Amino acid sequence: MSMKNFLKQWNPKALKKMSKDDRTDLLYECIPSLVSDYIKKGHQRPDEVTELFNRMEENDKFITNLLRILKTHDEGDPVTPVDLGMATIIADFLAQRHGKLSEEMVESYNKAINKILKKRIKKGVKKTGLEKDLVKELLVVVSEPDAISNPKFMGIYVHRVLNKLYALARETNVTLEADTVKKLFKFLFGKESLNEVAVNVLLEYRDKFSKFNQAQQTVWNTVTQFALDTLEGNEKKEIRDLLEYYCSRRKKNENGGNDRARRIQFAAINAEDYPRLTKAVKKLSDNEELAKYLA
């Protein structure tokens, strides 16, 4: 059932005629499609998202029935667990509507996030060594690798995670090692996606750096090291392919009138630290069209 159809059925008038079990069953059946539509099409359908958030805000039936579903699963009922992406919907909802909600409702929705992500948070802490609260903050952005609905959206998700890290650094002065960043991105995006994550990290616009405090700049530099280390770890042909992909992305932005200085200048990287990467940059720079994006 699509988000649009769910909204037609989940309305105040219809809900009054439903029993508690009927409401719970309807929500449970619709969660997978709600998550799918929200992640894949939500940015194209802002009116539907607004209406969904209205339903989540206007009374407590949505959260009450969601918590009922989660409690049933906690008690061992062999039902399919709630889609992890539901935590992302709730987090975005809270970010937008927090000021309009009662403390009780905010607490209930946060309780739902904790229950949905409980096992994933535990695994993230074990895999990364990071604090539970930090892992949770990042999982509501990308709950699991499969949450990325289309590979072409990878850059969007990478930059959302980066922005969350910068925000956390500003608020908590969190510090990270490059190896920890690798573990974190491997956990969030999957091992097979690390090269693409690294390229998207390097595509980040540099102008925000000057606005950062010291803690944020430290995170920025550590993430840069992760990205360069990741590219350097490939064979020379793969490095060239990744650099050509980087250039193609910049060319596309340029054609759209939106290209400007990125995180690093490849021509200025340390040859001793990154010999393979340096050689690949030098070779590709023989092509004038590519050279301007690598300089």
For the stretch 182-222, pLDDT in tens is 999 999 999 999 999 999 999 999 999 999 999 999 999 99
Contacts of 230 by beta carbon, 8 Å cutoff, 6+ apart = 182, 194, 195, 197, 198
- In the chain, the percentage of residues whose pLDDT exceeds 70 is 97
Confidence of residue 74 (pLDDT cuts 50, 70, 90): low
Read off the pLDDT of each residue in 73-96 and give the average, rounded to a whole number.
81
Confidence of residue 26 (pLDDT cuts 50, 70, 90): very high
Dist. CA 167–CA 213, nearest whole Å: 11
User: What is the reported pTM?
Assistant: 0.90
Say yes or no to pLDDT of 79 above 80: no
Contact 234, 185 (CB under 8 A): no
Tell me how crowded residue 3 is: count the other CB atoms within 10 A of its CB: 21
Burial 138-165 (b: 16+ CB within 10 A, else e): bbbbbbbeebbbeeeebbebbeebbebb
Dist. CA 94–CA 115, nearest whole Å: 16
Measuring CA to CA, how many Å separate 197 from each of 66, 187, 189? 33, 12, 8
Dist. CA 173–CA 289, nearest whole Å: 40
Confidence of residue 153 (pLDDT cuts 50, 70, 90): confident
Dist. CA 201–CA 235, nearest whole Å: 20
Tell me the chain's radius of gyration from C-alpha atoms: 22
For the stretch 154-171, pLDDT in tens is 999 999 999 999 999 999
Dist. CA 118–CA 136, nearest whole Å: 9
Confidence of residue 55 (pLDDT cuts 50, 70, 90): very high
Nearest in space to 239 (alpha carbons), one of 202, 195, 197, 208: 195
pLDDT of amino acid 73: 62
Dist. CA 139–CA 142, nearest whole Å: 5
Dist. CA 248–CA 226, nearest whole Å: 22
For the stretch 255-274, pLDDT in tens is 999 899 999 999 899 999 99
For the stretch 95-149, pLDDT in tens is 999 999 999 999 999 999 999 999 999 999 999 999 999 999 999 999 999 888 7
Burial 217-239 (b: 16+ CB within 10 A, else e): ebbbebbbbbbbbbbbebeeeeb
